[in-house]
Amino acid sequence: MQTTGIKWRTLAPAAPLSDFVESFWMIANNTNHDHQVVLIPDGRFDIIFSLKNKDGLAAVLRGLDTQPGPATISANTAFFAISFKLLAVEYLLHEKVDSLLNEGAVLPAGFWNVSKHDLTDLEVFAEKVSAQMMSMIKPGIDDRKKQLFQLIYSSNGTLTVKELSEKVFWSSRQINRYFNDQFGISLKAYCSIMRFRASLHHIKAGKLFPELNYTDQTHFIKEVKKMTGVTPKELAKNQNDRFILLSALPKK
């Protein structure tokens, strides 16, 4: 994404981190004016480092979002972040995010030894935090969980809870207990987010009708409004790059 004075870049993780990290990204507002945006659910949780006026450094752990919410890209501020897949909660961070639904928690100063000098270039940042994360990976990943998340991501959340349960030989009840305990939402709710997220590519391309197992047009519009606060038509217009996730999607 590149709007006036605002830059956005993403970077894929190295293969050893691909089960845990979706991407590294940065966004910088190089203007003297705050930019108002709307956060919408994307199925990820993030650790976000911010550097204001090349001096003030802060870090936040942001949990999953299930609803739209206002946010500000502050003037003269750069944000560098890691967007995580859910498997990272248990096997990399070793910390639940169930209490952080639609919220963030401030991380201690010096978290992961990231300094302001690491927040000048996305490749430099990714290399620094990747080395830290590689040392934290917990061995012995449960194959059921690994397969479950692979199926959710590859299907864009279109498989039912029953189908997922049968494919990984893990009861729906146990899966939902795991999801609520670790992430604060049910498996069904998470799949809805992933399906919505996949539909953003269609909406950005001007296809304002369901393509991913929505019951009908009414159901599609209802789900989009639940996740964004606006109709698919309004979302597609994305005036002033208000919906940052839609703005950042690559063109196809």
Give mean pLDDT in consecutive 10-residue pieces for the chain, a chain of 252 residues. Answer: 74 97 95 92 96 86 96 93 97 95 95 94 97 96 97 96 97 97 97 93 84 81 94 89 78 54
Distance CA 3, CA 167 (A): 44
Angle at 178 between CA 177 and CA 183, to 5 degrees: 110
Please return the burial class of 215, using the count of CB atoms within 10 Å of its CB with bins 0-12, 13-18 and 19+. exposed
CATH code for the part of the protein at 2-134: 2.60.40
Q: Which among 83, 62, 61, 87 has a CA at the least distance from the CA of 182? A: 87
The CATH class, in words, for 143-245 is mainly alpha
Query: Residue 165, Cα to own-chain centre: how many angstroms?
Result: 24
In angstroms and rounded to an integer, the radius of gyration of the C-alpha atoms of the chain is 18
CATH 1.10.10.60 residue ranges of the chain are 143-245
CATH 2.60.40 residue ranges of the chain are 2-134
pLDDT of residue 4: 61
Per-residue 3-state assignment (H helix, E strand, C coil) for the chain:
CEECCEEEEEECCCHHHCCCEEEEEEEEECCCCCEEEEECCCCCEEEEEEEECCCEEEEEEECCCCCCEEEEECCCEEEEEEEECCHHHHHHHCCCCHHHCCCEEECCCCHHHCCHHHCCCHHHHHHHHHHHHHCCCCCCCCHHHHHHHHHHHHCCCCCCHHHHHHHHCCCHHHHHHHHHHHCCCCHHHHHHHHHHHHHHHHHHCCCCCCCCCCCCHHHHHHHHHHHHCCCHHHHHHCHHHCEHHHHHCCCC
pLDDT of residue 3: 56
pTM exceeding the 0.85 threshold for the entire prediction? yes
